[in-house]
Structure 1
Amino acid sequence: MKKVKDLKKKAMDQELLNKIFTLKDEWTNLESIMSRSVEPSEEGQYELAISKAKYLYLIREAKIRNISAL
């Protein structure tokens, strides 16, 4: 029973790490686009703030779970 629980935890931890990497890429891409924009739109700024907030939230969750990509 413990092995099943450990496998599920590892799978969830890996899924969390994958989501963190995906959100980081999304956030940095949006940030790059916004920094090159002559006049950034409100919607773009909103999307940038949302992606940053999601990323930071998942980073905190990874710290709580004691997960590291290294």
Structure 2
Amino acid sequence: MGRKKKKQKREVDELLLDAIFSIEREWKQVKSIVGRSIEPSFDGSSTEKLAQSKYLFLLREAKHRKISAIRYSK
């Protein structure tokens, strides 16, 4: 793999990790709100499921790309 391709892969991997952390925070916030609700609305539950699905999809992509957050810690 050329030097330029390695740099591009690293940049994409870092963007993917940033997205994972962002979606994880979103999912946990929505989950917390829904969990504290007396009667969670359908919108709240579906928003939580959507955020969870995004998070799990991104985790699978990271696993497929064989990337680790430890390697890219800043």
Q: TM-score, normalised by structure 1?
A: 0.97
Q: Displaced runs of 4+ in structure 1, greater than 3 A?
A: none
Identify the residue that residue 62 of structure 2 maps to in structure 1: 62
Fraction of identical pairs, as percent: 43
Residues paired across the two proteins, number? 70
Structure 1 unaligned regions, length at least 5: none
Q: Deviations over 1:17-63 (max 9, x none)?
A: 00000000000000000000011110110100000000000000000
User: Separation in 2 of the partners of 1:41 and 1:4?
Assistant: 48
Quote the residue 1:52 is aligned against.
52
CA RMSD of aligned residues (A): 1.0
- Could you tell me how far apart the structure 1 residues matched to 2:41 and 2:3 are? 50
> Where does the alignment leave 5 or more consecutive residues of structure 2 unmatched?
none
Higher helix share: 1
